Structure 1
Amino acid sequence: MTQTLTQPSPPTADPSTLKRAVIAGVIGHFVEWYDYGVYAYVATTLAVVFFSSSNPTAALLAVFATFAVAFFARPLGGLFFGSLGDRIGRQRCLATVVVLMSLSTFAIGVLPTYTSVGVLAPVLLLTARLLQGFSAGGEIAGAASFINEYAPGNRRGLLSSLLPAASATGLLFGAVLMAVLTANLSKDGMNSWGWRVPFLIALPLGMIGLYLRLKIEDTPMFRALVSAAEADPAPLRSSVTGQFKWIAVAFGATLTYGVGFYVVMSYMPTYLKGVAHFDTGSMLAITSAALITHIVALPLWGALSDRVGRKPVLIGASVALVVVTYPAFLFIAQGGVAAAITGGATLGALIAAGAAPLFAYMAEMFPTRVRASSVSIGYNASVMIFGGTAPFIATYLIDRTGSQVAPSFYLVAAAAGAALTLALAPTSKSSHQDALRQS
């Protein structure tokens, strides 16, 4: 199972252009995932504002169901923007998705509530979330292709690890913002207008991301492809017919990060407050420790993957999570603040190892002409099925089993699936790797 496609050797970007390209990709990614992730941080308030309060657990499940449903739009967005990116270029698609994400997030901040319009409120919320999902589906494959096609071969792991670091930084920014709001507003103030603030901020952030992405030209690899008249007119069809086995590898390899990110990084504030019963200050400390550890560890793991290879780091992370996740959740659920910080930080560091090499690993599987389409299909399908449903499944498992550590079982299963996929996957022989050796 090898890749044999040929493509022109790409020119390399000068250091100044590379720096601007990385900043454009990373800043835009920060904006995208702040917009997308802040929903989870406001989940308990949204349950009150957008759904009937007669059953709090049912309302929270409805919020997370809305969160999960948005992920079903991600493959559609990935198919649309991935195919478009392979035909017209990464840069224009990335500029478009950051605008769409910012506008749909801003729209949530101005929606009427359940008390104002009844069942229309959750319908409008769902519509905005679907638009967010459509945008997010186009972001990750475009950004991964963009960064990896600019990066020199011996730094792809390091530079592409900045994408998940930007995602986590966006979540951290959202967590800190919510902590400031909850510390300075009463419960009534949060329920009446405070919850809107994180969503309204999305608009100016989006304009910054758009400006940066419009200021950089498309990648050297894509421009070389266009110059050689070798761009694929039907990249989506070519991906499905010619890259299916590698797409399946990308699907499985994503499980550790896809589930880990949404169980630990996104769902954690709700878990700490509603299940482990930490106060707001402790919740912020624990969440921040996990996120900061995750962010700091990402470039370290990415740099390691440049030295030892992507698969050893990814497999090691997945196996470690199979072993460590359950005791880490025991620390979080049954220990004090210090124990919970230790558990959260440990999970954050290991999930970083499952994320840092992932985007370079996926990008290196596929030739330039179908890269964005192929990564979109594998990554977004995995996150749709297993990642987006993680907060809902975690809440459901706790409710049904009565166990505070029930979410750990889901992450253990996902990590085991990723480890098995990676262990069975052969080494890619794509022409992109030939270009990597030349760079």
Structure 2
Amino acid sequence: MELKAQTPNNPVGPVKGTKKNKYLMAGIIGNVMEWFDYGIYGYFAVAISVNFFPTNDPMVSLILSFMVFGLGFVARPIGGFLFGHFGDKIGRKNTLSLTVILMGVSTFIMGALPTYAQIGIAAPIILAIARMLQGISAGGEWGSAVSFLGEYSKPNNRAFIVSFSQVGSALGLLLGSLTGLLFSNIFSTEVLNDWGWRIAFLFGIVIAFFGYFMRKGVEETPVFQEAKESKSFSEKPLRDAFKHHRTGMVTCFLLMSGAFVTYWLILSFMPTYISQFLKLPMNVGFSLTAITLVAYMIALPIAGFLADRFGRKPLMIAGSGGILLFSYPLFSLLANAESYGTMVVVVCLLAIIFALFQGPNTVAMSEIFPAKVRVSGFSVPYQLASAVFAGTAMMAATWLINKTGNVMAVPIYMCITMVITLLATIFLYKETKNVQFDK
């Protein structure tokens, strides 16, 4: 990979070696940190429900906890609108520095927050506000991070490089899952639900400052610098994206419908699914989630590599079609598994199939838009889809299982939404493998 950076005498000179790796790390590290902060809510949802939503029915408390989890996704479009505009106006790097600070501070607030028993209704209200601030940060992070990586890559390795944005997100969730696994082994259930869960949230402030200083030490992408110097960047990128790229924005929204549901039900809901509905120990759910995330992280860059060779669309069709064909029988095996090994095989297969879609999907959506509106055009529909599909996924799955008494409601719901994604991939998305990313 050859990266390019702005220099006084060479506007688009090459960046190699250690500095090249630093730029790649800066694009990924914030994703890792933000998604650790963002994901730990899902892993400690049971503890949060006990502390902030006490009711006579634990299932109602858990649903209320997931409703606040969903608020983070409802707020993500705000981040997409706000920081998408900033990403196209003040630069990708500067925007990323702001989002990582906001995420860390809001996560710290959640860890330090008194419980319902201590301050009453104010506790869940403040929790909801902090969760929304997390959502605004995550909504602003994604489009800028993907654009940052894509604009520092070459046409023949762009999908491979940008796939590491998804690896970063998965690594953040993995660290959250490993934290949950560690805590569930060293703390009793009572201690974990009482105060043990707070440790992960309080660590958010350290993450915020580390991510900020990592990103402050890199330069802006050459694509944005050239657009700024040539006066070709948009004064009103969000308006221009809606005016000239509506079809692309609709395509992004539909591509992410089933993808978001599948992502959160496979990669974050599993500890709750395993413990609450399959009635197995919590540490089994955490360990399976960790294994799933590792398989997913390994498969993502392989899918990106294949997408650089054969195109984005074939891989996306294979991944979304694979979820439709195999998620129900695989979940059936999981629900009836008699050994831990069988469960490991099932979750790894689910992760690999889904990675076939996600590996090329991220770069494909960013390639739909020109540089001057890329962050806005990509972020807004992506985050709107997040609010509609991702934020409600675990709550909907919990509600469906509670109402039907059928644990197989999870793959059924995944398949219904993935139909939308598959149809959008086939009929709306036009192959973007050879587009110029700097235009």
TM-score tier by shorter-chain length is: over 0.9
CA distance in 1, matches of 2:233, 2:45: 43
Matched residue, 1:265: 267
Partner of residue 398 from structure 2, selected from 391, 395, 399 = 395
Partner of residue 423 from structure 2, selected from 411, 417, 420 = 420
CA distance in 2, matches of 1:435, 1:173: 32
Q: Deviation at 1:304?
A: 0.5
Partner of residue 141 from structure 1, selected from 140, 143, 152 = 143
Partner of residue 40 from structure 2, selected from 38, 41, 54 = 38
Deviations 1:253-280 (A, max 9, x none): 2234311111110111111110111213
Q: Which amino acid aligns with 1:222?
A: F
CA RMSD of aligned residues (A): 1.6
- Tell me, yes or no, if the aligned pair for 2:270 and 2:286 is still in contact at 8 Å: no
Deviations 1:186-231 (A, max 9, x none): 2221122101011011111221111111111110100010110111
- Tell me, yes or no, if the aligned pair for 2:312 and 2:432 is still in contact at 8 Å: no
CA distance in 2, matches of 1:160, 1:390: 25
List runs of 5+ in structure 2 lacking aligned partners.
Answer: 1-10
Distance verdict in 2 for CA 1:435–1:116, change over 3 Å:
closer
Residue 349 (structure 2) pairs with residue 379 (structure 1): no
Residue 158 (structure 2) pairs with residue 156 (structure 1): yes
Alignment of 1:24-35 (within 5 A): 24-35=26-37
Partner of residue 409 from structure 2, selected from 406, 410, 415 = 406
CA distance in 2, matches of 1:23, 1:429: 25
Q: Which amino acid aligns with 1:168?
A: A
- Tell me, yes or no, if the aligned pair for 2:74 and 2:386 is still in contact at 8 Å: no
- Tell me, yes or no, if the aligned pair for 1:78 and 1:380 is still in contact at 8 Å: yes
Matched residue, 2:5: none
Residue 271 (structure 2) pairs with residue 278 (structure 1): no
TM-score (norm 1): 0.94
CA distance in 2, matches of 1:142, 1:33: 15
Matched residue, 1:6: none
Alignment of 1:101-140 (within 5 A): 101-140=103-142
**Aligned with 1:152: secondary structure?**
coil
Alignment of 1:28-427 (within 5 A): 28-336=30-338, 337-427=340-430
**Aligned with 1:54: secondary structure?**
coil
CA distance in 2, matches of 1:217, 1:197: 34
Q: Deviation at 1:284?
A: 2.8
Q: Deviation at 1:158?
A: 0.7
Q: Which segment is superposed worse, 336-345 or 64-73?
A: 336-345
CA distance in 2, matches of 1:229, 1:395: 51
- Tell me, yes or no, if the aligned pair for 2:241 and 2:376 is still in contact at 8 Å: yes
How many residue pairs align between the two structures? 427
Deviations 1:139-198 (A, max 9, x none): 110101111011111111111111111111111111111121121112221122101011
Q: Deviation at 1:426?
A: 4.9
Q: Deviation at 1:128?
A: 0.4
CA distance in 2, matches of 1:203, 1:216: 21
Matched residue, 2:12: 11
CA distance in 2, matches of 1:158, 1:307: 10
CA distance in 2, matches of 1:269, 1:214: 36
- Tell me, yes or no, if the aligned pair for 1:250 and 1:378 is still in contact at 8 Å: yes
Query: Following superposition, which runs of at least 4 residues in structure 1 exceed 4 angstroms of deviation?
Result: none
Distance verdict in 2 for CA 1:135–1:435, change over 3 Å:
closer
Deviations 1:33-68 (A, max 9, x none): 000000000001111011113111110000001111
Distance verdict in 2 for CA 1:266–1:361, change over 3 Å:
same
Q: Deviation at 1:429?
A: 7.1
Matched residue, 1:5: none
CA distance in 2, matches of 1:114, 1:435: 50
CA distance in 2, matches of 1:244, 1:18: 35
CA distance in 2, matches of 1:250, 1:48: 37
List runs of 5+ in structure 1 lacking aligned partners.
Answer: 1-9
Q: Which amino acid aligns with 1:349?
A: I
CA distance in 1, matches of 2:242, 2:54: 43
